[in-house]
């Protein structure tokens, strides 16, 4: 069941994999950009998250807290996300994925719009692995490799202000879109 804009998400406390800190979703003090990604070490996810890292200060200045969910276990995730400056959450049972209506599908990789981003991400990831800056993903993934991304912008009261269900592996919000959505949300709610 997919969530629509205007739906309300119940408050919960998730756990960050790097330090075990509680992660409130929604956050009572600021907007939350809740990202659903694929598996630990996913090359496309890694490349996307690096774009978020580069602009993290700008995202925080806009009053947005980043929370990223993967359908891998916490131990496997730690090897890939230790240096990220935002909360990363493990959901190997895919409970949050089900609650938010985030799916898996062969079209995640079969959609022609995914081919170039996958090739680019694999090339960049291979170069990073050869330099010792990135670890390779596990050969097998408990929840598979066919996950679709999703993005949600949540208000402090849990209202879904914006949402996007990806149609392929690289169909996710770029930082500029996130910042624009947050500006619009503030204008509408003011």
Dist CA 138 CA 70 (whole Å): 14
Mean pLDDT across 107-127: 71
Q: What is the mean pLDDT of residues 28-41?
A: 92
At 120, is the secondary structure helix, strand, or coil?
Answer: helix
Q: Compute the distance between CA of residue 164 and CA of residue 103 in angstroms, rounded to an integer.
A: 12
Has residue 190 got a pLDDT over 60?
A: no
pLDDT of 85 reads 95
For the chain, percent helix, then strand, then coil, each to nearest 5? Answer: 35, 20, 40
Predicted pLDDT of residue 59: 97
Residue 70 in contact with residue 92, Cβ under 8 Å? no
Question: How many Cβ atoms from other residues are within 10 Å of residue 145's Cβ?
Answer: 14
State how far the Cα of 159 lies from the Cα of 53, in Å rounded to an integer.
25
CA atoms 167, 120, 177, 136: torsion sign: positive
pTM (two decimals): 0.87
pLDDT higher than 80, residue 111: no
Reported as a single tens digit per residue, the pLDDT across 140-186 is 667 666 788 999 999 999 999 999 999 988 889 999 999 999 999 87
Average pLDDT over residues 94-104: 92
Instruction: State the Cα–Cα distance between residues 153 and 136, nearest whole angstrom.
Output: 30
Across the chain, the runs of DSSP E, i.e. the strands, are 12-15, 22-25, 31-36, 64-70, 87-90, 150-154, 160-165
CATH class of segment(s) 12-189: alpha beta
Q: What is the mean pLDDT of residues 33-50?
A: 87
Give residue 136's pLDDT: 67
CA separation (Å) from 78 to 6, 40, 44, 47, 148? Answer: 34, 9, 18, 17, 21
Pick the range with the lowest mean pLDDT from 9-18, 32-41, 115-124, 170-179: 115-124
Give the per-residue pLDDT at 11: 97
Q: What is the pLDDT of residue 168?
A: 84
């Amino acid at each position: 069941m997919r969530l629509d804009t205007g739906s309300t998400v119940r408050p919960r406390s998730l756990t960050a994999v790097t330090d075990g800190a509680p992660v409130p979703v929604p956050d009572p003090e600021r907007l939350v950009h809740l990202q659903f990604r694929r598996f630990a070490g996913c090359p496309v996810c890694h490349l996307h998250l690096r774009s978020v890292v580069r602009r993290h200060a700008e995202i925080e200045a806009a009053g947005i807290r980043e929370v990223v969910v993967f359908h891998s276990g916490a131990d496997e995730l730690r090897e890939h996300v230790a240096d990220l400056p935002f909360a990363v959450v493990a959901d190997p049972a895919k409970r949050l994925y089900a609650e938010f209506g985030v799916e898996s599908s062969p079209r995640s990789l079969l959609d022609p719009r995914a081919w170039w981003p996958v090739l680019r991400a694999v090339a960049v990831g291979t170069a990073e692995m050869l330099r010792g800056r990135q670890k390779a993903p596990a050969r097998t993934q408990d929840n598979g490799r066919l996950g679709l991304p999703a993005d949600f912008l949540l208000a402090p009261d849990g209202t879904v202000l914006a949402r996007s269900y990806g149609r392929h592996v690289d169909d996710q919000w770029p930082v500029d879109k996130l910042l624009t959505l947050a500006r619009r949300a503030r204008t509408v709610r003011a």
